[in-house]
Structure 1
């Protein structure tokens, strides 16, 4: 009885924390309307780092090259590929004079380090404004470059975009991947709107070359295999220099993993970088995850035992209602509306998977970006 009493008051505290996150933080993005900025027509360099991506380059590079934009180059970085990646790059380069190829050879000091390859690509780029995506990404429209670059101005040197994953019908894994991506976007867009930006995704990210060199590039976290996107943004982004772009024309669509094993390996690399975030970001992210975990654990325990259910059930439904409102708005904004009906199940499953990933990373750490 004493334990249930403790659980009851803990549940009230957890619901309060969750409501604060959703109403005072995540609502900043959920209720925000996308804004089409005036086209700037600034010269932009698009950077794509590819490792064994011959098939994806053949499939998706034409969408990059066919962007409706007056002045851009495409810097293709071959990171020591073992397939026909370099040959495909060279074939495209013979047909398009705005392609520049950077062929990265293996070095013992930087073996398997994407940041080293990206650094060489950034140095080789000719333009001040840089837009990053991956070889398996397809712009959602021919105005992707126009939309992303329009958010640069005299004070904004970083633009955070949305990198979605393609939908696969009747796939639970695909729904999990897209829900996790949706939750991550809700967080980094909301934090940015709150003046405490903490990350971006390399599938759709832009910043000025000046910002890169002023921060000495990736030098502060070069030893961390992942984090060319989130750790760099965590280091340099501020409430003054960061903008967000989430018009549907600005999305990129990537190929999702199709097996749980591959997805877990990918997420292990991503999660391993979080411990290097600034203290305020780590605190806020950990508190949110713990409150998520405890909300479901305590709610299920208290409802099964019917302990003070007259109070527990309304609080449970209140949090669930707010959760649905925020995610409903966000899902509509980011074109993930088919996830809405599955939201509670996806959240519970993802909480369990994140706990598994955290424990696995404590035992063995992932080493290479591919």
Structure 2
């Protein structure tokens, strides 16, 4: 077998891209695959407040709010912030208020002096909450079980100020749905694994918790109030440390959510998230950018090898196959652990599709008008 100098350099670079990828697979993500799953706590530690922000969510609140109000936890309140809704949300919440003593409604009116966006609504909910430990979710979310709050309560370690949960999306039969769920899976694998590694960098507002004192000590969202998204990930990125953050991955702690049903809606959502990511701490941006760049170069390197000799194609194919085999020992276990076991046989294909979709979305996100709009 004789390879040209160019082929040797290209294949060597392609193999190097694989080694960088394997760092994330074997030294970051594998920690989550092997992590012990916590058992349900025997006792509730202290009262807590759940905060939900809603803007024109009457159908979702009617469907999902009772499951939250009826959690098996001895003392908690549910603070729902009605942010200028006109679809019947106010009337529905008033009905629920008569049925549930633990429901508290906060109304934001059109004539109020406020900063537009979800962060203002979240801030109003936090101010209205009477308990120190705050649990966050959304109006279109439903807990996996009635034990959700037992997992998301204040941990036994008093130094823990932030608790990161996991929120998968509900399944329907479409390519978009499979792509959304797969992207959510990899996002969760990344932030949960890095948290276990001592580098928490984000959380999702559909299922997370933190101390009210932490919020006010750091002046809430003041540092990034002008950014449309980031009430969850930017807050965690700024204030989470290796010593004050824990995760919860037990299936009973999961919170399911309604996914986007249109490509346009999903693109808008990812555009907001892309905008928030630019404000992460430099070390987090570096390690996440490195991950994306070398994934991109891995696929580019493989495609480039296909234009050279048959020997180069065979070697490149072997490297690519090795990548898939190694990941087959890690990601199917994680997909099962994170409630997406139906995707475990499709992950190589979805991995490629997701990569191209996110690359396109990242390019599109650099253009267009930026506006503050959370719903």
TM-score where L is the length of structure 1: 0.95
CA distance in 2, matches of 1:219, 1:4: 53
2:137 paired with 1:133: yes
For residue 273 of structure 1, give the secondary structure of its aligned residue in structure 2: helix
Residues 140-160 of structure 1, C-alpha deviation per residue, up to 9 Å, x if partnerless?
000011111153531111110
Alignment map for 1:277-292 (pairs within 5 Å): 277-292=280-295
Residues 117-146 of structure 1, C-alpha deviation per residue, up to 9 Å, x if partnerless?
110110110000000000000010000111
2:337 paired with 1:369: no
For residue 49 of structure 2, give the secondary structure of its aligned residue in structure 1: strand
Map of 2:203 onto structure 1: 200
Map of 2:78 onto structure 1: 74
TM-score where L is the length of structure 2: 0.94
Map of 2:193 onto structure 1: 190
Map of 1:358 onto structure 2: 362
Q: Which runs of 4+ in 1 moved over 4 A?
A: 1-5, 107-111
CA contact (8 A) 2:143 2:254 kept: yes
CA contact (8 A) 1:151 1:244 kept: no
CA distance in 2, matches of 1:297, 1:318: 17
How many correspondences in the alignment?
369
Structure 1 unaligned blocks of 5 or more: none
Map of 1:260 onto structure 2: 263
CA distance in 2, matches of 1:17, 1:210: 39
Structure 2 unaligned blocks of 5 or more: none
For residue 276 of structure 1, give the secondary structure of its aligned residue in structure 2: coil
Map of 1:226 onto structure 2: 229
Shift of residue 365, structure 1, vs aligned partner: 4.5
2:169 paired with 1:165: yes
Alignment equivalent of 1:102, drawn from 81, 106, 116: 106
Alignment equivalent of 1:315, drawn from 287, 308, 319: 319
Shift of residue 247, structure 1, vs aligned partner: 0.5
Residues 301-356 of structure 1, C-alpha deviation per residue, up to 9 Å, x if partnerless?
31453353454333222211222222111101111011111111111111111111
Residues 215-259 of structure 1, C-alpha deviation per residue, up to 9 Å, x if partnerless?
110111111110000000001100000000010001011111111
2:305 paired with 1:298: no
2:147 paired with 1:143: yes
Map of 1:10 onto structure 2: 13
For residue 350 of structure 1, give the secondary structure of its aligned residue in structure 2: helix
Alignment equivalent of 1:243, drawn from 235, 242, 246: 246
For residue 167 of structure 1, give the secondary structure of its aligned residue in structure 2: coil
CA contact (8 A) 2:44 2:74 kept: no
Of stretches 158-167 and 292-301 in structure 1, the one that deviates more from structure 2 is 292-301
Residues 41-70 of structure 1, C-alpha deviation per residue, up to 9 Å, x if partnerless?
310100000010011000000000110000
CA distance in 2, matches of 1:3, 1:107: 67
CA contact (8 A) 2:44 2:73 kept: no
Of stretches 241-250 and 30-39 in structure 1, the one that deviates more from structure 2 is 30-39
CA distance in 2, matches of 1:314, 1:151: 46
Pair 1:189–1:107, CA change in 2 (3 A): farther
Alignment map for 1:55-66 (pairs within 5 Å): 55-66=59-70
For residue 211 of structure 1, give the secondary structure of its aligned residue in structure 2: helix
Of stretches 300-309 and 207-216 in structure 1, the one that deviates more from structure 2 is 300-309
Pair 1:96–1:17, CA change in 2 (3 A): same
Residues 15-35 of structure 1, C-alpha deviation per residue, up to 9 Å, x if partnerless?
110011111111111211211
CA contact (8 A) 1:77 1:118 kept: yes
What RMSD in Å do the two structures reach over aligned CA positions? 1.7
Map of 2:219 onto structure 1: 216
CA distance in 1, matches of 2:214, 2:326: 38
